[in-house]
Every structure is written in C-alpha cells, then in structure tokens.
Amino acid sequence: MRWKESLCIAMLLLVAMVTVSMANVHGKLLAVGRVRREANGTMTTMAPTTDPSLLDPNGPHVCTRRITTAYRQAYRSVVKSTIVNKRACCPGYFQDGDSCEPSCYMCVHGTCTAPDVCTCDDGYVGQQCRCDGQHYGSNCELSCECQNGGTCGGDDSHCFCPPGYTGTRCENTCPEGSYGMSCDNQCTCVNGDCYHITGECRCNNGYTGPRCDQECEDPNGCLGCPCLNGGTCDSNGACTCAPGFKGDVCGEACDPGTYGAHCASACLCHHGGSCDPATGECSCLAGYIGDNCEEECAVGSYGADCAQTCNCQNEGTCTSGGQCLCTLGWHGSKCQGNICPYNPPEYDSEHYTDEFHWPYCIPCHCNKDNTERCHPWGGHCECRAGWGGVNCDTMCAEGFWGKGCTDVCDCAGSHCDPLDGHCLCPAGYTGSKYVVYSIDLV
C-alpha cells in the first residue's frame, strides 16, 4: 500500500506546482490564470472573472455582441425570440475582472500584448518566444544557418531576415530600387542610390535633399537632411520622424497595429479594422461602427458605416453584407416568401409547414376570424387584438388586452377594452389612464 501513498503524494505535489490555469478559448490553449502565494507558503490559482456586468462599457477592448433570447408570452403556447446587444470582450480578448486581456497561444519567454502577438523578452524570438534567435527545435537544440543578422523562429529553421536582406538564409541584399523589412519599400531617390537597409538616399555629385532632387548651390559639394516622409534633422543631423514613420531616416512605416510618434502607440481597432499609422484613427470593415470598430450594425442596417438598410421581413436579420438571414418558414431575398404559399384544393384554410413533415404543408388549426397569421413553420397562431389561446379562440381574460392578450390593463382596478386597452370606467368614474407594458415569461 505504501506505493499507492507515494503516488498520491506525488500527484498532490504536481497539482501544487501548477502556476496557471489553462482555459480553452476558440480552440486555443491560453494561460489566463493568476497565482496567489498564501502566508503559509501554499499557492492558489485564481481563475479570471467572467461576469460581464463587471466590464467597463467604455473599455478599450469591449465590444457589442448580438444575443438572441427566447421568451414565452402570457396566454400563448408560442416561444418567440428577440435580439439584444450585450457587452462582451472583443474577439481575441478574454475577460479578467473588469478588463479585457489579449489571448495568445503560449508566450514562453514573453508577454501577450495583442491577440496572438507575443512580445518576446530580450534574447528570444518566434511566435511563442521559445528559443533564442540562433536555435530551433522542440528543445532549442538545433542551430540555425541564418546570415547577416537573420534569426530563426524556434519552431523550424526558417530564417527571419532583418531589414535590407532577403533569401532563404538572408544571404542577399534587397534588389535595386527596394529596401527595408522584406524589401517591401520602394526607393524614391531621383539622382542617387538608396541604402538597402534604411532607404536613405545617397546623392550623386551636385544634388541634395531627402530624395536627391535638389541641385546644390555650392558646386564643390553640399550637405542636406536625409530624413524621408516629412522627418526633420536636429542639430546633430539625426532624424526626428513624423508620426507614422520610423527608422534612421524615417523610411519605414509603422508596423501593423502601431501608430503615432516613434510608432509607440498600439492601435485599438477591432473586428478587422485598420488604424491610420499617423493618428490611430480606425477604418472599420463593413458591418461595424464605433471609434474602435467595437459595435456591430444595429438590426436592419449593414455596410460601411452601417449606412445601408436591408429591410428584411418576417423577423429576418441581415449580415454585414446585407444578405437576409430568414427565420424558419420564410425564404426569398427579403424573407418575404412563405414556404407554403399555396392552398391545395382539398383544404379551405390557411396552411403551414410541420417541421416533422417538411416539405408537406398541412392545415392550420387557427380560428381564421381571430387570427392575423398562421406561422408557416410549426403552425402556431398569431392572434388579432383581443384574442388569445393556442388557436386564437379565447377572448382576453379580464385585465389583459392586445394581440395575443400580452398587454396588461392599468385602469385603477377597472376593466379595459381587450382590443385597444382603453379603460371602461364604472359609474361615477372617468379618465383614460392606462399604461402599456408586455409580460415576457422566460
């Protein structure tokens, strides 16, 4: 039995060594817990708080999310649904207390600074910051063969080249006319060559200026400020870059996700929105609005700036591209078509589709005189004002009125008209007080 006791002790020690709780969010393993060390030396793992009511509605990573809720109406057998907007963390973020934190797939030697963006500690590289820049493999045991300061990411031997170099081993300089990271920037020098790393123009004799497009006044030579993209030179000739640019001569735009002076500010645009590298202003994709693109278009609107109207009928909703998503029983570009549009000659009543016998249309069981519509999927009856019940054959009970008898009278204890809710005052009383509100039984 002693071996069983030893096994139990070992398992308890293993649990005590756990320093983070692991959560599965969108299929990715996330280190999202925090550890508290107690006075007695034990460690307690604290899971992040996920109560949405704690979130600051104006927080930088809080978005609106459409939630469909079902509810049951009084005196009805029909369950309806409605769409409401609720606050939740934006995609790529998880809730921790009253804030939303970015989620990453394992930052071994780094910090998760944006969704799936791990900012590595000094000496480490790669998406997970597992190895230094010269090794790779499961235990960082294999050496890279990158040249000119290139590094490998830790997972394989693929080289990530520094600005100005390209090739499988970073063995080549950028092709003529290009410079910078991945050689993606185009040189703008008019009378000279550009440096393949920074894009600085090296002017031919007799020319000056950031683009070598100005003739020198002094025929024996001239000095000019090499700063590009609106950058300026200080008294020592060093460049001060305009917002949105970086580099020795301001030849590089800010990396995606950053903006401003020295590219030091993080963009806050969500749902695929992009930010201006100089100001950080967000440009939202179709279907989203808000300073940070955090809000979905309201139901019934879509497109850029949510400026277009989709006009879906019969409780249909539209996508960000304006396509109507129809509820069961309806079809068509605007959800205008009943899937049982015909009346077979053997039936005299309106028809609906039974979900267990689709696509065969069978008779409704609604009182036609008291029914506004028989729903084409499931056949539930939608009653006219003053009537309720499963088949719309029951007058509203005392104290209720309206379609389906879902509205409540407020007539100081007296009765109200079941059609429009106006008060039917007894002898000796007058007035028209009534307050309309609906009963929703979840």
- What are the pLDDT digits (tens) for 299-353? 788 888 989 888 888 888 888 778 888 888 888 888 888 887 655 444 445 555 5
Cβ contacts of 245 within 8 Å, gap of 6 or more = 228, 229, 230, 231, 251, 252, 253, 254, 263, 277
Decide: 417 and 401 in contact? Cβ < 8 Å.
yes
Residue 136 to residues 93, 132, 133, 203, Cα–Cα distance (Å): 29, 8, 8, 42
pLDDT digits (tens, 9 = 90+) for 232-285: 888 777 889 999 999 888 988 898 888 999 898 989 899 889 999 999 999 999
Distance, in Å, from the CA atom of 131 to the CA atom of 148, rounded to the nearest integer, reads 19
3-state helix, strand, coil in the chain (%, to 5): 5, 35, 60
In this structure, the chain runs to a length of: 442
The mean pLDDT values, 10 residues at a time, for the chain of 442 residues are 46 38 31 32 41 72 65 47 71 86 86 86 83 84 89 82 93 93 91 90 85 78 80 84 91 88 90 92 91 86 88 83 84 84 51 50 80 80 89 88 88 82 78 47 38
State the pLDDT at residue 164: 93
Place of tokens 């009084």: 74
Specify whether the CB–CB gap between 160 and 151 falls below 8 A: yes
- Predicted local confidence at residue 323, as pLDDT: 86
Question: Which pLDDT score, from 0 to 100, does residue 121 have?
Answer: 87
In three-state secondary structure terms, 205 is coil
Q: What is the pLDDT of residue 350?
A: 55
The pLDDT score that the predictor gives to residue 2 is 46
Cα distances (angstroms) measured from residue 19 to each of 4, 45, 317: 25, 7, 45
Q: 294 near 63, Cβ under 8 Å?
A: yes
**Predicted structure pTM score:** 0.54
pLDDT at position 242, please?
Answer: 93
Burial of 165 (0-12, 13-18, 19+ CB in 10 A): buried
Please state the three-class secondary structure of 360-385 as a single string: CEEECCCCHHHEEEECCECCCEEECE
